[in-house]
Structure 1
Amino acid sequence: MTTRELDVCSTMNCQEKIKVKILSDQDSWNLFKEKAGVAETDELAREVAKECKGLPLAIVTVARALKGKDSHVWKTALRELRTSRPTNIKNVDKDLYSRLELSYSYIESEEAKSCFLFCCLFPEDYNIEIRYLMLYLVGERVFKDVDNLQEAWDTTQTVVDKLKDSCLLLNGDKEGHVKMHDIVRDVAIWIASREEHGFVVKAGVELKVRSEKLEQCKRLSLMRCSNSVLPEQQISPHLQTLLLSHNYALKEVPNNFFQPMKELLVLDLSETYISSLPPSLPCLSSLRTLCLDRCKELHDLSLLKGLVNLEILTLVETKIEELPIEIGDLANLKLLDLTDTRKLKRVPPNVISKLRKLEELYMRDSFGGWEVRGSSGDGSNAGFDEVASLSRLTVLHIHIDDFKCFSLDFPGWENLKKFSIFHMEMKIERFFWFLSDEIDPKFQSACGNYMNVEIISYPICKWVKVLFGRSEGIVLRGVCTNITHLLDDEGRGFNNLKILHLIRCHEMEHITSRSSLLPPLTFQNLQVLTIRFCSRLKNLLPWNLARGLQNLEHLRFYQCDELEVMISVDEEEHELGVLPRLKILELLGLLKLRNVCYSQNGGGGGSHLSLHFPSLEYIGVSGCPNLKRLPIGPQNAPKLVLLRGEEAWFQGLEWEDESVKSHLLPLFLLGTAVTVKLHRRLPDD
């Protein structure tokens, strides 16, 4: 059976679901040629077939409509297909558009229908960022039953997934984006241009003629217009959404341009080269969403003061040097995005704290000069306590220069669900370089809430502990004065962790205190653990901690001078079911490492324990002269292995099965730092 709706497959309990992809160029041409009855050498017909973009329904409908027609009809059809106006091709509107409109008509949710129509505002073949889609829909109050931005985001994701399941949207070329098939977009424009919807879409074309529709429209897209000239005629006073983004030649908006747009709700001027906001901007008293991202010549934002109903303001990658005090007058603001505003050096006191309704604050790779507490002195910056006072915050991405902010407790943030807190001398680029250099990208995308902290002292204040407990990724760098272990005696605060890095924590001796009897679910979600340059760390993973690492996949130790044992147990364990999912193990520069797993017997002696990692795909060893045994059994031999060091060290290793050594020895002799394929291959190797 076939269906446009993925849900139908689930309802019918289909055992296998096969998505029908668009046709290749050759298959498209073969189908078109058959239905149109044209010759292989007909280049005009081939060009028309290409404009059907591999969609079988479009190919069949257009081919049948043009079969037997004169060449001038074919040329007209080609021109209209290229300009998304196939109104003069007999039966195309009726047979193609009306059939594709069925998928739209079958959508039960009015919110999903609105989302679909808003997608046609973007240029052809455009990667639509779902985030912007959400900002537009929120501005127009499309979602009727949501109380906050998080609910709006969840609803947007839900309707986008529904549209993808209905094949009305496609996955974009990168995460968080979607695309529209060209023919589907044409149908969306055809539907949206009806009077009840009032869309006028001129995205990606040259605006050069007067249009009566401009005087009546409700939503107007002039994105990426090739001439970047704003229309001189009056635009509808009932306009609700206006998209002017990606017009790189647009340097000035006429002074009175916005004056008649009293009902405008959404305005996007992103990626234009305007240097100032037009004097008529305060006339937009109904405006709820304003996007000014990457307006790199824009400096003066004082005219924002009049936008009393503004809820969303984005200033990503702008070059503003000081946050204008007028932003403090935007009492209804729910989202403020200052990501990558690298020149921002001053946030005046008593601006941020006035934004009592703020739910989302983005300041990653931006201003970090928060004072610990606010000051009224001339030239001073806002205090970090102003940010902490925003009780409605659910999303916070921020950089903090002064480590003293981590030493004082602040109230609030009970609703904080998504966050990234950075405190380090080097900016965020170094953090992402560190992650991308050593971690599979899937772990980066899986890690939502994270903290990257450098130099905090003990005892750790309450708000830091609370966010540690909610974090999925933690990087502690040069940290922990007087802190000899990471976990407290109750083992609290790390059950959500997926990624943990400890770097240059020179006073840390243990992950957990010696007396800890940890709950069984501590570190239950940890997938990546990296320890670097922790010079006092001797015993990394006690048995009561290691046994809980059921999801650990990457384990790396670098330059830990005192590390002797990776996993230790107090009493002999006959069945060691630890690290069942471990895929990558790296042991680099561990001069005193003697054993991977070691048992400390009651009589004072000790013994090496057999420990196999059933999912191991890669092991890297370098600079571990005292390591005598590797955790490689017969079941691990036919897997990818990296060995570095002297042949004598390799020959001196003890093996549980000589067949393992015979597998690896010829490969080891190929040279140092050699990656060898045995039976399996890791991605990108």
Structure 2
Amino acid sequence: MVRGVISLYALTFLPKLRALHLENFAHYSFLGNLTTLEILSLHGWAYEDLADELEMLENLKILDLINCAFCGRFQSKVIRRLSQLEKLYLPRSSISNDIFLEIKFLTRLRRLSVEVHFPHCPLDFEFPEFENYKISINCFSINFGYREMSGFGYTFDTARSLKIEEVFPYPAFSQLLGNLESLEVSKIKDEYVECLTNKTQQKVSVSMILRNLKQVRIDYCKNLKVVFQMEEVEENEAPLLSNLKILHLQRLPDLSCIWELPTQHVRLESLVELTILHCPRLKSLFSLSLAQSLVLLEKLEIIYCLELKQIVTELEGNEGEISSTINSHTSLSSPKLTKLYISTCDGLEYIFPTQHVRLESLVVLTIKKCPRLKSLFSLSLAQSLVQLKGLDISYCDEMKQIVTELEGDEGEISPTINSHNSLCFLELGNVSISNCYGLEYIFPTSMSPQGLQSLTLNVEACSQLKQVFRVAKDK
């Protein structure tokens, strides 16, 4: 690695030089004389003389210009001369729109990273067969950093990613979609993201795309109604979305449904993080069968979904009531879920739909501005919260109790609490409750104060509070 303390002319006396990293060189005279170079990485400002020097390095296999800032527009025609290139990482700006016309001549190219505004690609254009690519189209302004709650993000590298803003160039990029792992789109004006639906004529199987995707982020697509959409799936096909790890949906004012798919062909068994921000027309997140596949989900964040009534939709009976025939085959368990954050969901009526739910890894639960919630947990669910350390509840106007216990014939809490349904939060350290004006009880009858050895309890503006620990009538 050289940081501009010697002349490049001195390097011409190294006849076997194969790899070179340069930082902050003002001029690149004599760089073209280093014809044995196979790997070149440049950081810092670059001037017009660089293009002339680069095109003489015909043995280059790896060229990294990602952190190189060009004073003028990068001359993409230089790329055509570097016929031995296998890996190409282009600068984040100053790339001409015809860059892909030059890349097609690089028949050995297997890895590509490029950001460009509106690429020029003829209808018969064909990409080389990339093993890895990171391509961004007109998305220099995409920013998925907005969060109401900081520190909730989860990131990982994917081998093949596509970022697009405003216009989805499906015809030109369709051949890249078959093995796509990460898709980020913003400001698409259609009612769907073209590669995630089979309602239109497709060059690439949508089911193939959905099977390979690991990350999907969609932001500010104001007409989008459905994210994943397929009308028919072959019976013998592999499960859809089984590799999806991260799903982030943000600022989608018309979104009413996430998955319009045959649920028997969908498995969310790899999903680690789900974030839903500002989707005011969304009414639910999962069917019961989808929720049962969430075995790796670690973080769930839902903010400003005003019409959301329930997170999990259960099967309904003849009169439209939630079915009570829940058994071990329809129970829910998210054994990896550690953080749950819900805020500003005015229509949310309940979070966990059945008594057969287990959240044994949940550490932090935050519920804010959900005025229609009446309680959080059934007794059986509360018993599974062995790792819960923090509980924060605020502005839940109709919440009367946090844990709902079984009731007797006259609607009173049953005094027959035994060792099988007793409750103990050994890890619970902080409970903060504020502005829950209907709250009457915090801890249920089955809760023993001895199970809260290190608890810090903060209660504010709960004018109807009767007892911290609810006491049965015979006690």
Q: Is the Cα contact below 8 Å between 1:288 and 1:311 reproduced in 2?
A: yes
Q: Does 1:565 pair with 2:364?
A: no
Identify the residue that residue 399 of structure 1 maps to in structure 2: 218
Paired residues in the alignment total 409
Distance 1:467 1:321 in 2: 36
Q: Which amino acid aligns with 1:559?
A: K
Distance 2:337 2:457 in 1: 23
Q: Does 1:629 pair with 2:426?
A: no
Shift of 1:583: 0.9
CA pair 262-424 structure 1, distance change in 2 beyond 3 A: same
Identify the residue that residue 343 of structure 2 maps to in structure 1: 532
Q: Does 1:473 pair with 2:273?
A: yes
Q: Map residues 9-88 of structure 1 onto 2, 5 A cutoff.
A: none
Identify the residue that residue 454 of structure 2 maps to in structure 1: 638
Q: Does 1:333 pair with 2:130?
A: yes
Q: Is the Cα contact below 8 Å between 2:243 and 2:271 reproduced in 1?
A: no
The alignment partner of 1:595 has SS state of coil
Q: Does 1:247 pair with 2:63?
A: no
Once the two structures are superposed, residues 400-446 of structure 1 have per-residue CA deviations (whole angstroms, 9 ceiling, x without a partner) of: 635245263187996873554444337xxxxxxxxxxxxxxxxxxxx
Identify the residue that residue 151 of structure 2 maps to in structure 1: none
Distance 1:590 1:206 in 2: 67
Once the two structures are superposed, residues 603-643 of structure 1 have per-residue CA deviations (whole angstroms, 9 ceiling, x without a partner) of: 25241786432111211111112323223824425333333
Once the two structures are superposed, residues 210-257 of structure 1 have per-residue CA deviations (whole angstroms, 9 ceiling, x without a partner) of: 3234543111211x13x332132543433211111x222x13254543
Distance 1:240 1:618 in 2: 58
Identify the residue that residue 155 of structure 2 maps to in structure 1: none
The alignment partner of 2:377 has SS state of strand
Identify the residue that residue 411 of structure 2 maps to in structure 1: 605
CA pair 537-213 structure 1, distance change in 2 beyond 3 A: same
Identify the residue that residue 86 of structure 2 maps to in structure 1: 288
Identify the residue that residue 271 of structure 1 maps to in structure 2: 67
Identify the residue that residue 352 of structure 2 maps to in structure 1: 541
Q: Is the Cα contact below 8 Å between 1:393 and 1:415 reproduced in 2?
A: yes
The alignment partner of 2:384 has SS state of coil
Distance 1:266 1:549 in 2: 48
Distance 2:405 2:451 in 1: 23
CA pair 395-590 structure 1, distance change in 2 beyond 3 A: closer
Distance 2:370 2:76 in 1: 59
Identify the residue that residue 97 of structure 1 maps to in structure 2: none
Distance 1:487 1:203 in 2: 57
Q: Write 1 or 2 for the structure with the bigger share of strand.
A: 2
Identify the residue that residue 506 of structure 1 maps to in structure 2: 307
The alignment partner of 1:257 has SS state of helix
Q: Map residues 655-674 of structure 1 onto 2, 5 A cutoff.
A: 655=469
Q: Which amino acid aligns with 2:399?
A: L
CA pair 607-468 structure 1, distance change in 2 beyond 3 A: same
Q: Is the Cα contact below 8 Å between 2:8 and 2:28 reproduced in 1?
A: no
Distance 1:526 1:256 in 2: 55
**Which residue of 368, 389, 402 maps to 1:583?**
389
Distance 1:517 1:489 in 2: 13
Identify the residue that residue 102 of structure 1 maps to in structure 2: none
Once the two structures are superposed, residues 139-179 of structure 1 have per-residue CA deviations (whole angstroms, 9 ceiling, x without a partner) of: xxxxxxxxxxxxxxxxxxxxxxxxxxxxxxxxxxxxxxxxx
The alignment partner of 1:470 has SS state of coil
Instruction: Pick the structure with greater CA Rg.
Output: 1
Q: Is the Cα contact below 8 Å between 1:588 and 1:623 reproduced in 2?
A: yes
Distance 1:374 1:462 in 2: 19
Q: Is the Cα contact below 8 Å between 1:620 and 1:641 reproduced in 2?
A: yes
Distance 1:252 1:489 in 2: 60
The alignment partner of 1:220 has SS state of strand
Distance 1:396 1:211 in 2: 44
Distance 1:459 1:347 in 2: 20
CA pair 579-263 structure 1, distance change in 2 beyond 3 A: same
Shift of 1:511: 3.7
Identify the residue that residue 424 of structure 1 maps to in structure 2: 250
- RMSD of the alignment, in Å? 4.1
Shift of 1:291: 0.9
CA pair 306-483 structure 1, distance change in 2 beyond 3 A: same
Distance 1:342 1:536 in 2: 33
Q: Is the Cα contact below 8 Å between 1:216 and 1:238 reproduced in 2?
A: yes
Shift of 1:532: 2.8
Q: Map residues 349-498 of structure 1 onto 2, 5 A cutoff.
A: 349-355=170-176, 359-360=179-180, 362-364=182-184, 368=188, 372=192, 388=206, 393=212, 395-399=214-218, 401=221, 402-406=223-227, 408-409=229-230, 417=243, 420-425=246-251, 455-457=255-257, 460-462=260-262, 466=266, 468-477=268-277, 483=283, 486-488=286-288, 491-498=291-298
Gaps of 5+ in 2: 143-164, 315-321
Q: Out of 391-400 and 345-354, give the one that drifted further.
A: 391-400
Q: Map residues 52-131 of structure 1 onto 2, 5 A cutoff.
A: none
Distance 2:309 2:403 in 1: 21
Q: Map residues 300-315 of structure 1 onto 2, 5 A cutoff.
A: 300=97, 301=99, 302-315=101-114
CA pair 526-455 structure 1, distance change in 2 beyond 3 A: same
Once the two structures are superposed, residues 350-394 of structure 1 have per-residue CA deviations (whole angstroms, 9 ceiling, x without a partner) of: 2111237x645555466745674869xxxxxx9997694765945
Q: Is the Cα contact below 8 Å between 2:398 and 2:438 reproduced in 1?
A: yes
Identify the residue that residue 348 of structure 1 maps to in structure 2: 169
Distance 2:239 2:125 in 1: 20
Q: Is the Cα contact below 8 Å between 1:554 and 1:585 reproduced in 2?
A: yes
Q: Is the Cα contact below 8 Å between 1:353 and 1:387 reproduced in 2?
A: no
Q: Write 1 or 2 for the structure with the bigger share of helix.
A: 1
Identify the residue that residue 430 of structure 1 maps to in structure 2: none
Q: Which amino acid aligns with 2:172?
A: V
Distance 1:278 1:542 in 2: 57
Identify the residue that residue 551 of structure 1 maps to in structure 2: 361
Shift of 1:481: 6.3
Distance 2:441 2:311 in 1: 23
CA pair 521-463 structure 1, distance change in 2 beyond 3 A: closer
Distance 1:347 1:599 in 2: 52
The alignment partner of 2:37 has SS state of coil
Shift of 1:506: 2.4
TM-score, structure 1 normalization: 0.51
Identify the residue that residue 299 of structure 1 maps to in structure 2: 96
Once the two structures are superposed, residues 551-605 of structure 1 have per-residue CA deviations (whole angstroms, 9 ceiling, x without a partner) of: 0111122222222222235xxx7x9632011111111111121112222335252
Distance 2:214 2:282 in 1: 32
TM-score, structure 2 normalization: 0.71
Q: Map residues 137-152 of structure 1 onto 2, 5 A cutoff.
A: none
Gaps of 5+ in 1: 1-200, 376-381, 427-452, 658-685
Q: Is the Cα contact below 8 Å between 2:251 and 2:279 reproduced in 1?
A: no
Distance 2:193 2:261 in 1: 15
The alignment partner of 2:77 has SS state of coil
Q: Out of 578-587 and 393-402, give the one that drifted further.
A: 393-402
Distance 2:170 2:376 in 1: 50
CA pair 472-383 structure 1, distance change in 2 beyond 3 A: farther
CA pair 486-220 structure 1, distance change in 2 beyond 3 A: closer
